[in-house]
Chains A and B, each alone.
Chain A
Amino acid sequence: MPMDHHKPNIPATPPRQSWTFSQDVNAEIRRAAATGIYDIRGGGAKRRVPHFDDLLFLGASISRYPLEGYRERCDTNVTIGARFAKKPIELEIPITIAGMSFGSLSGAAKEALGRGASLAGTSTTTGDGGMTPEERGHSKLLVYQYLPSRYGMNPDDLRKADAIEIVVGQGAKPGGGGMLLGQKISDRVAEMRDLPMGIDQRSACRHPDWTGPDDMEIKILELREITGWEKPIYVKIGGARPYYDTALAVKAGADAIVLDGMQGGTAATQDVFIEHVGMPTLACLRPAVQALQDLGMHREVQLIVSGGIRTGADVAKALALGADAVSIGTAALVALGDNDPKWEDEYQKLGTTAGAYDDWHEGLDPAGITTQVPELEARLDPIEGGRRLRNYLKTMTLEAQTLARACGKSHLHKLEPEDLCALTMEAAAMAQVPLAGTEWIPGKNGF
């Protein structure tokens, strides 16, 4: 007799989706089966990882005296590069704009980043592909990235820069290079990179003329000699082995360390790389600070942390854990208009939706930011974009000051781990602050 699945008195078992073979996983298997190639996208890790959201400030109490909002000072300035450079960088706020290339971004977007950063009293950074005159012209403080590809590298631009950032790795892909697809290679991008128009341009994963920390020390010497020991030299590392990479960069003579966790964005890389290589920003920060403290270099060599910084709370928490400054990339693009729902119709045509658009490498960005198509690029007004970025940076700074005053701190740098507690054991272990309501820090005191 056939089974009757519709007997009213027998509770039905609802269809059960597999956690292991979720709809997303199955969709990716079908996509891979259809194309034979991995998924490439922009941005950073999208998976949920322990983050600054998992920390809370304790605020003032009987034993901690707060500062008056809007009345008592809470300073935000930071000096970067005083270890060896004759001309250190003076920032009004401890939030910088991370390196993003002309090529992956439109010229208007680069100009907007420069304008916004300058209005807010901070620095912006070049990227793979060299320095454009517009970017230099609109950036009061410009950090020039020294990358493995050396696209557009030249001593004149090196001397025009306010600081030099040697890129060893980035959080989205520690150990990975990059590929700028041919459709984004306009005449100008091609000329700056000494390559033909329309071909894919590979960005190497290793520097071509040195290997290891001892060589890097000599490379830093060369760059200092070329620029008369004027420029601060940063070393940017991905969140792989933050304790040792920080220590080695300090030993090699860096003035500052830029530490980028896995939530940090990239213009384009394999999804499997972004999601499965490197550590969350929160997990990287304390080991890097520990390395600086062990070497007696904390605050002497500045630590700039990036990867998933979105709010003044993120800024304040990163500084409380020992960073000297933070850097933003993805958040700055969102401030300019990236993934804005006003372009939803066009996102739908591209098979995505506002908030999820990450095919930055394809150059069809409706917001006109990650594109070289003139009609799309024209959608971004660099002056308005700069104003929006300035507003966002100012807002984050005000938020961070609000939190610092609540903790009784007259400078953001006076925030400390003691001001924090953690909501989860993972965050408590990574940030090395107590789990909320306890004095327990996993891994400390033998537990």
Chain B
Amino acid sequence: MERYDLATGSLREMNAQLQAVAPGENLTAWEILNPDGRHAIAVGLDAPIEVRVMGPTGYYCSGMNQQATVRIRGNAGPGVAENMMSGKVIVEGDASQYAGATGRGGLLAIKGNASSRCGISMKGIDIVVGGSVGHMSCFMGQKGNLVVCGDAGEALGDSLYEARVFVRGSVKSLGADCVEKEMRPEHLAALENLLESAEIDTDPADFRRYGSARRLYNFDIDNAGAY
């Protein structure tokens, strides 16, 4: 286990060391001490390493992650795992705004709640939230899955493209062109896998599925009031 203490070291040095790990090296397990809400921790990683961040993080922790597994032992600031390509990011506390924004792959698991715009413009990432999500979550979601074990705020899935949304609790309101859809067996199976990967034990049968009605895919003046 390698340890890096941000109380005495620098963000640049820490990220450079994590980014420099080459495939086949032994330095596969890291612990980041005293993150104290610093921004841009463990960004741009591209190796199958495991990183434990021992405390709360600021903006963009694990941004653009590839391959790595990053576990945040605390709350995460805005934009955690933004534009993630692959790998896994686990937030053991709550996450602030824009969690998983524009992510293109991998899994973001948030054990607590996520704030507004969770999964905004997601492009293939899977996001599983143990608690609730705030307003405008999955706004313009293009691909991937957003799973919410608690409740969803206003305008869920507004202007949704092909991303799928699963919610166990209540939905305050659906956004433009977002509708409830039939939960078929393949969806239940996919949901079961996502929950298991996120280390969340709950019954997929309790969820409802939401997706795009695809009415706004091509501009039509008669739909102008819906935008």
Cβ of A187 within 8 Å of any chain B Cβ, yes or no, is: no
Is the C-beta of A35 less than 8 angstroms from some C-beta in chain B? Answer: yes
B101 engages A208 (CB within 8 Å): yes
- Nearest-CB residue, chain B, relative to A226: B44
Of the residues B11, B98, B124, B161, contact of A225 by C-beta under 8 Å: B11
- CB < 8 Å neighbour of A222 from B60, B217, B221: B60
The answer to whether A208 touches B117 (Cβ under 8 A) is yes
Asked if A37 is an interface residue, CB under 8 A from chain B, the answer is yes
Interface of A, helix, strand, loop or mixed by DSSP: loop
**Which residues from chain B contact A153 at a C-beta distance below 8 Å?**
83, 102, 104
A202 vs B19: C-alpha distance when bound (angstroms)? 34
Cα-based distance from A1 to B86 in the complex (angstroms): 90
State the Cβ distance, A290 to closest chain B Cβ, in Å: 31
Tell me, rounded to whole Å, the shortest Cβ–Cβ distance linking B106 to chain A.
Answer: 12
Q: Tell me whether B124 and A154 are in contact (CB under 8 A).
A: no
Residues of B within 8 A of A158 (CB): 64
Residues in A167-201 with C-beta less than 8 Å from chain B: 179, 181-182, 193-196, 198-200
CB of A149 closer than 8 Å to a CB of B: yes
**B123 contacts which of A194, A202, A229 (Cβ < 8 Å)?**
A194
Whether B140 pairs with A225 at a CB distance below 8 angstroms is no
Closest residue of B by beta carbon distance from A183: B218
CB distance from A302 to the nearest CB of B (A): 24
Q: How far is the CA of A200 from the CA of B98 in the complex (A)?
A: 24
Chain B residues, Cβ within 8 Å of A218: 39-40, 58-60
- A149 near B121 with CB under 8 A, answer yes
Q: Report B1-59 residues with CB < 8 Å from chain A CB.
A: 11-12, 15-16, 19, 39-40, 43-44, 46, 58-59
Give chain B residues whose Cβ lies under 8 Å from the Cβ of A221: 39-40
Complex contact A194–B82 (CB within 8 A): no
Residues of A in contact with B, size category = 20 to 34
Would you call A150 an interface residue if the criterion is a C-beta within 8 Å of the partner chain's C-beta atoms? Answer: yes
Task: Given the known inter-chain contacts A195-B142, A200-B219, please indicate yes or no for A208 contacting B121, CB distance below 8 A.
Answer: yes
Count of chain B residues with a beta carbon within 8 Å of a chain A beta carbon:
43
A163–B187 CA distance with the chains assembled, in angstroms: 42
Determine if B63 is an interface residue (Cβ-Cβ < 8 Å). yes
Q: Give Cα distance in the complex from A32 to B132, angstroms.
A: 45
The 8 Å CB contact of A215, one of B59, B117, B161, is B59
Q: How far is the CA of A135 from the CA of B84 in the complex (A)?
A: 24
Asked if residues A36 and B221 are in contact (CB atoms below 8 Å), the reply is yes
Q: How far is the CB of B5 from chain A (nearest CB, A)?
A: 18
A155 touches B64 (CB 8 A): yes
Q: At the interface, yes or no: B69 with Cβ under 8 Å from chain A?
A: no
Are B83 and A150 in contact, with the CB atoms below 8 A? yes
A376 close to chain B: CB less than 8 A = no
List of A residues within 8 angstroms of B159 by Cβ:
202
* Any A CB within 8 A of the CB of B108: no
Residues of B contacting A204 in the complex (Cβ-Cβ under 8 angstroms):
121, 140
The answer to whether the Cβ of B78 comes within 8 Å of any Cβ in the partner chain is yes
Most buried by A among B11, B102, B139, B224: B102
Residue of B64, B78, B221 with highest tally of chain A CB at under 10 A: B64
| Bound CA–CA A149/B43 (angstroms) | 20
| Top 7 closest pairs, chain A to chain B, by CB | A226-B44, A194-B123, A209-B79, A209-B98, A199-B217, A150-B102, A209-B101
Question: Given A155-B66, A209-B82, list of 19 further CB < 8 A pairs?
Answer: A36-B221, A150-B83, A150-B121, A153-B102, A155-B64, A195-B142, A196-B161, A196-B217, A208-B102, A209-B120, A210-B59, A221-B39, A222-B39, A225-B11, A225-B12, A225-B15, A226-B63, A228-B16, A228-B19
Query: What are 9 inter-chain pairs, A to B, with CB distance below 8 A?
Result: A155-B83, A193-B142, A195-B161, A208-B117, A215-B59, A221-B39, A222-B39, A222-B40, A228-B16
